[in-house]
Structure 1
Amino acid sequence: MRLPSSSRGGARSVLVLLVLALAMPLWAAKPAAANPLYASMVVDVDTGVILHERHADRRRYPASLTKMMTLYLVFDALESGRIAHGTRFTVSANAAAQPPSKLGLKPGQTITVEQAILALVTRSANDVAVVVAEGLGGSVSNFAAAMTAKARQLGMSRTTFRNPHGLPNEGQISTARDMATLAVALLRDHRKYYRYFSTRDFTFAGTHHRNHNRLMASYAGMDGIKTGYIRASGFNLVASAERDGRRLIGVVFGGRSAQTRNDHMADLLDRGFRRVNTVLAGGAGGPRLAAVAAAPRAAAAAPGAAA
């Protein structure tokens, strides 16, 4: 029986809608494919086995993920005895003038190293990042050069730092692979200081600051490490979680919102935990994060020191 033309048109419309409905879950499962800022990686910390990667070597703006390296150099200085947790840094006019997020420090004010660490981890304070850079390196440019030098020593071959906080700078770039490398290095080289990244909140001068990494409160086993956002980068996150004796590092660049970034990170880590033991039991013949090899730490000149 031949349908009237109007009925045939209606049937075609229903068919088109049905096809779109069936295709929707497949499209929705890969929203990052159309996102030019996106990159991601998941790696097993102990072995370096890469469980997931997407655009992992494409250069991206790290935003406040930058502060992971700022903190790495702070931990280096603590470990060497150059500074102590109670060492005080003085706030310059330059540091006080940094845009949010910040503690709102005033020129001439002082802050301890311990307070600086907590402010960087929780508030992601840009003024504090500059205080640290000037305190350890003498200037922001000297400290940024030391950050880049340390990145090279750690195997972060596609990363360049121009500042200690991650505020917009066209020359400040990194990759998902390099940020995974840095996260692993923090765990490997500064495990006793890594606990700071799990700090949920911090009070300074009567003001309470919550950690920007809200996923820690809802994702089982997550205990750090850093969020980042500028308009040019989208919503970034490096996260670490441990379950049943296995620790994974996840990296996401370019989330469209903090919530979608967090949801995507949770999904990536869930998938990683589901398959990591199977992958390792099978001989782990796949790609590995090269810099994860448990090699001795390379000594580096202190920021601002003569080479």
Structure 2
Amino acid sequence: MVTAITISGRRPAVTALWLLAGLVMLLSTTAQANPRYAAIVVDVESGEVLHAANADETRYPASLTKMMTLYLLFEALEGRSMSLDRPLPVSSYAASRPASKLYVKAGSSIPVETAIQALVIKSANDVAVVVAEALGGSEEHFARMMTAKARELGMTRTTFRNPNGLPDAGQTTTVRDMATLSLRLMQDFPQYYHYFSRTRFNWKGKTITGHNRLLDNYPGADGLKTGFIRASGFNVATSAVRNGRRLLSVVMGGFTAASRDTHMADLLDRGFVRASLYDRGDWVAAADFSGDYMRLPDAAPTAAPVASPPTPDPEPAVQLASLEAPEPRPSTSDPLPEAAQGSANDPIRELIAGSEPQGHASTRTQQRLEPVGDGGWGVQVGAFSDPDNARHLAGRAADRLDRELTNARVDVLEVPGPQQLFRARLVNLDENQAQRACRSLVQEGMDCMVIDAGF
């Protein structure tokens, strides 16, 4: 229960109290339904934590990892061991990294400034390795540099194993640590912060668009980074300014990019409301969301924008690519990496498994073809709060595999729990069919996971 205390003889702000009480209820439900979920909201000037949920619990950073890669690159620029126009060589290993990628060619090079844009906007896994090899000699050594820098910045619960966030059970973090990294990027390198507000850049005559829709859709949002792997869910770090106040928020574990963005917008809206009421001294919630503070550098900046972005590129605006449907790989690209299927040492897998009760009655909606085989395997292509959305996505996947898997059928499974959740699957496959189907879908730009459908 949330109670209010009158301060300086003023009455509580009842409307805002209900807003914040609703947020407590909403986030409690979200955390119970989604074990990947974690979030934090911080007032940048004071360091006050306005909201925290699972803030110190182990999570996967996914492409938020690239913020640390950029931090070390910005350090090198400041130390003059790098310059924005310096060409970085592309090794065969870097070029072989799976999508999302810029498809740089082995033996070629890429300027540092273009590499920065590729990491922020395209979230290019191949370019992240190019930077790692230029700064650290190898991906492994650079990962050790990243972890050492994390400790130096106070990120005590973060370990890096690669520069891009590709699946590795040992690469873990917390939302508090990611908030610390985001704050330090803004405060230590304000001259480079404008890159995080960009939504497109030019590469070899093409306009490359980005994933961060909050930059266009949330008033005041001016930067930072998105991320996704299956084990993490949809992550995002966002900074926004309203009425001279800057908030920084990190959300991890979204079911979809859209739901993650909606939740981030809600957290920021309520954070601004809470901060403004606190300033007026109207009331303080006795059941405070967090009550702690982030450790800030001695010279914390004001809430004014950290750096003014340069004039946008002259090209007309291009519709942003969806994080849920990344750029398709060429037919010659690498197959789905085995690491993407998870790891026996995965520290979150047991938590996730424990949140998915077995043996409960479930609602299944089937369409398309009648089963003609007894395959006990399937391919999961998404999870949604709306069964129609789940059915639509599974249908799209089935259409793409129509000629390959004539025995496949769409299966929409309602997962028991406090929040409605429907998994979209293609079932009635054998294991080899499921593996091939998932690889085909990834090449078509759809995320997927091979599952044992026999439960």
Q: TM-score range by the shorter chain?
A: 0.7 to 0.9
User: Equivalents in 2 of 1:252, 1:195: separation in Å?
Assistant: 21
User: Equivalents in 1 of 2:42, 2:26: separation in Å?
Assistant: 25
Partner of 1:38: 37
Partner of 2:235: 236
Give the secondary structure class of the aligned counterpart of 1:52: strand
Partner of 1:127: 126
Instruction: Tell me by how many angstroms 1:202 deviates.
Output: 1.0
Partner of 1:227: 226
> Is the 1:123–1:210 Cα contact (8 Å) retained in structure 2?
yes
Partner of 1:171: 170
User: Equivalents in 1 of 2:75, 2:42: separation in Å?
Assistant: 24
Matched, 1:108 2:102: no
Match of 2:295 among 285, 291, 295: 291
Matched, 1:138 2:137: yes
Scaled by the length of structure 1, the TM-score of the pair is 0.84
Aligned partner letter, 2:219: A
Q: What are the Cα deviations for residues 168-187 of structure 1, in whole angstroms up to 9, with x where unaligned?
A: 00010000100010111011
Give the secondary structure class of the aligned counterpart of 1:77: helix
Instruction: Tell me by how many angstroms 1:127 deviates.
Output: 0.3
> Is the 1:181–1:289 Cα contact (8 Å) retained in structure 2?
no
User: Equivalents in 2 of 1:148, 1:209: separation in Å?
Assistant: 30
> Is the 2:49–2:294 Cα contact (8 Å) retained in structure 1?
no
Aligned partner letter, 1:290: M
Partner of 1:183: 182
Gaps of 5+ in 2: 1-24, 301-455
Backbone CA RMSD of aligned residues: 1.9
User: Equivalents in 2 of 1:51, 1:293: separation in Å?
Assistant: 19
Scaled by the length of structure 2, the TM-score of the pair is 0.57
User: Equivalents in 1 of 2:209, 2:298: separation in Å?
Assistant: 34
Give the secondary structure class of the aligned counterpart of 1:220: coil
> Is the 2:48–2:294 Cα contact (8 Å) retained in structure 1?
no
Q: What are the Cα deviations for residues 187-218 of structure 1, in whole angstroms up to 9, with x where unaligned?
A: 11001101100011012112322121111101
Q: What are the Cα deviations for residues 7-52 of structure 1, in whole angstroms up to 9, with x where unaligned?
A: xxxxxxxxxxxxxxxxxxx679833431010000000011100000
Q: What are the Cα deviations for residues 74-130 of structure 1, in whole angstroms up to 9, with x where unaligned?
A: 110001111100111100000000000000011111000000000001100000000
User: Equivalents in 1 of 2:69, 2:278: separation in Å?
Assistant: 34
Change (3 A) 1:65 1:28: closer
Task: Give % identity.
Answer: 55
> Is the 2:42–2:294 Cα contact (8 Å) retained in structure 1?
no
Instruction: Tell me by how many angstroms 1:289 deviates.
Output: 3.3
Higher helix residue share: 1
User: Equivalents in 2 of 1:68, 1:242: separation in Å?
Assistant: 20
User: Equivalents in 2 of 1:86, 1:179: separation in Å?
Assistant: 29
Matched, 1:272 2:271: yes
User: Equivalents in 1 of 2:294, 2:235: separation in Å?
Assistant: 23
Matched, 1:86 2:90: no
User: Greater relative contact order (Cα 8 A, min sep 6): structure 1 or 2?
Assistant: 1
Q: What are the Cα deviations for residues 131-158 of structure 1, in whole angstroms up to 9, with x where unaligned?
A: 0000011011111111111111111000
Instruction: Tell me by how many angstroms 1:281 deviates.
Output: 5.2
> Is the 1:229–1:236 Cα contact (8 Å) retained in structure 2?
yes
Aligned partner letter, 1:291: R
Aligned partner letter, 1:76: E
Aligned partner letter, 1:202: F
Gaps of 5+ in 1: 1-25, 297-307
Give the secondary structure class of the aligned counterpart of 1:229: strand
Instruction: Tell me by how many angstroms 1:230 deviates.
Output: 0.2
Count residues in correspondence. Answer: 271
Give the secondary structure class of the aligned counterpart of 1:53: strand
